Structure 1
C-alpha cells in the first residue's frame, strides 16, 4: 500500500503531477509543454522508482488509465499527453494552472 499513499500524497501536495517514464516520448512532450508554460510540476519517473509498477497499477485502478503520462492538475485527473495538449489548445489548462 506504499504505492497508493505515494500517489495520493503526490497528487494532494503538488499543483501539477506527471506520472511519467523517463524514456517515453509522450511524457517528454507533456513535460516540455508544462516547461514552456513555466508551470511548476513534479514528475515521478515510474521506471526509476522501486514502487513504480505498483504506482502505475494503482493509477489504473484510480482513474482507469494504464498509460503514461498520467497527469493531475489541482488534484484533478487531466489524462495523458494528448489530453494535456487539448486542454492547452482550448484554454482550459491555463485556467487550471492559475486557479
Structure 2
C-alpha cells in the first residue's frame, strides 16, 4: 500500500497555524491549575494543639524568637544581625525537635509561609532571613533595641 504524505513549506505552516499544542506537563496545565492547586493545599492547622500553644507561649514570653533549622543558610543570615547587636535571641531549631514539622505547620498558619527562618520581635512576625538582613543594613532592626 502506497501512502502519500503532503509536505508543506514552513512558510505555509506559519500562515495556517494549527490549534496550539497542550502544555507538555499536565500538572502545570493552566486549565487544570485551579483543580490541582486546590488539591495540593495543606489542611487547616489545629491551633489548639500542644505545638500551637508552644509557639504562642514562646513568642509571647521572649523579646526575640527565631524558628530555625541548623543547616539553613537563611537561618544563619537571620541570626547574625542579632549576634552583632549582642541581642539574646531565643532560637528554636526545628530539625532537632521531634515536633518540628508540626511547629513549622503552625508557623505557616500564623505567618502565611512555612519556610524558615520565622523571626518574631515583641510578639510580632517581622520576616525571614533576607528581611532581617535588610532591616539590619537600613538600621530598622536596631530601633527595636535602644
TM-score (norm 2): 0.64
Calculate the aligned-residue CA RMSD, in Å: 1.0
Match of 1:56 among 94, 104, 127: 104
Structure 2, unaligned stretches of length 5 or more? Answer: 1-48
Instruction: Show the counterpart of 1:2.
Output: 50
Match of 2:80 among 6, 28, 32: 32
Q: Greater relative contact order (Cα 8 A, min sep 6): structure 1 or 2? A: 1
Q: Which structure dedicates a bigger proportion of its chain to helix?
A: 1
Alignment of 1:16 with 2:64, yes or no, is yes
Alignment length (residue pairs): 98
Larger Rg: 2
Q: Which structure dedicates a bigger proportion of its chain to strand?
A: 1
The alignment partner of 1:34 has SS state of helix
For each residue in 1:44-92, what CA deviation from the matched residue of structure 2 results, as whole angstroms up to 9, or x when unmatched? 0001111111010001101102110100011111110011011112222
TM-score (norm 1): 0.93
The alignment partner of 1:54 has SS state of helix
